[in-house]
Amino acid sequence: MRPFAYARADDVDTAIATVLARPDGEFLAGGTTEIDLVRQDVLRPGLLVDINDLPLDRVDDLPDGGVRIGGLARMSDVAEAPGVAERFPVISEALLQGASPQLRTMASMAGNLCQRVRCGYFRDAVSPCNKRDPGSGCAAITGFHRGHAVLGTSDKCIATHPSDAAVALVALDAVVRTRGPHGERAVPIDEFFLLPGDTPEREHPLEHGELITAIDVPGAATARRSSYLKVRDRASYEFALVSVAAAMDVRYRTVADIRLALGGVATKPWRARTAERSLLGGPATREAFAEAARRELAPATPLPQNEFKVELAQRAIVRALTALADGDEEGGTR
């Protein structure tokens, strides 16, 4: 492992100033992405600024019924926080189906959003990879790409965004709050994740030294009836082949509100707006779910090994929505 300098900050502005002082400075939270990739020689920071002592690990209720999740709150703590588990079950479920118990106690929510892709060519530190080494090419397009994306791809990069939690947060219109060299800002989460386009090395709009302080999830009654469905090669401790974050409100067998996002199939956590539009105000039937899923996946650009994801994603959407609709029926309140 290459040497790097280390400093531990205990207030936000010192952490930011310390990263800013060196062009090769980076924040270190749980380290489950950062230390792994430094050891693989994929990332080469000259300085790691340990932010684990910053007071950003709380989960607080917001006046509108939402929650503010501190950037350093751990995946395990957020999953169990009452405000999250009761009002936003889809977030809890996505967190608890991610990584392993050990990793979840270490990993922070901000780090989870900033985690890097699991593409084997990105991680091997030698293959052509436009994300790691811009302009060098993409080994996955002509190589092994079974786990790669079918939506939001470009001819420069087809890696899937690996986060589960981000899929739930994108479905719920979360807002990423930051503090950096130019002050504070709030970025809608859908704009936080960038498509690869011609610049796959740029995954989010954070400037050097800009720190994620919190993630706000706005209150949404619909989110109480929400769920996360993750389809993977083994039952646990594995990244998604396809995942679905869904919240739905069915009244008189009609879709009164719907939030839908997909993981494992796209280069960013994928808000399924086409499917949402197709469903809103219409019947909550299996046929309508299938039609919405078909429309969402219509623009997919699969490659030979990941073509199965197009069908798998549609089936997962139908299963997730059918389960939510049946839950509504059984609840019998409407």
Partner 1 sequence: MAIHVGSPPLEGTSKARTVALTVNGEGVELRIEPRVSLLDALREHLGLTGTKKGCDQGTCGACTVWSDGRRVLSCLTLAVAGEGHEITTVEGLQDGGELHPMQAAFIAHDAFQCGYCTPGQLMSAVALLEEGRAADDEIAEWMSGNICRCAAYPNIRDAIREVRDAAGGE
Selected range binding ligand FAD among 23-31, 144-152, 193-201, 295-303, rule: CB under 6 A: 23-31
Cβ-based nearer residue to partner 1, 5 or 280: 5
116 to 155: interface string for ligand SF4, x by CB under 6 A:
-x-x-xx------xxx------xxx---------------
Going from the C-alpha of 139 to that of each of 131, 135, 142, the distances in angstroms are 11, 12, 6
Dist. CA 237–CA 232, nearest whole Å: 9
- Among 77, 164, 203, 276, which residue sits at the site for ligand FAD (rule: CB under 6 A)? 164
Torsion angles phi and psi, residue 102, rounded to 5: -65, -45
Q: Does 76 bind ligand FAD (CB under 6 A)?
A: no
Strand partners, 187: 176
Dist. CA 259–CA 247, nearest whole Å: 5
Dist. CA 261–CA 253, nearest whole Å: 22
The nearest distance, CB 114 to partner 1, in angstroms, is 15
Q: Does 265 bind ligand FAD (CB under 6 A)?
A: no
Question: Is the distance from CB of 197 to CB of 170 less than 8 angstroms?
Answer: no
The binding site for partner 1 (CB under 8 A) comprises: 1-9, 11, 13-14, 16-18, 20-22, 25, 28, 30-32, 35-36, 38-40, 47-50, 52, 99-103, 105-106, 180-183, 209, 236-237
Q: How many residues bind ligand FAD (CB under 6 A)?
A: 29
Pairing outcome for strands 47-50 and 5-8: parallel
How many CB atoms within 10 Å of residue 140? 28
Summarize as ranges the residues that interact with ligand SF4 (CB under 6 A). 117, 119, 121-122, 129-131, 138-140, 157-159, 200
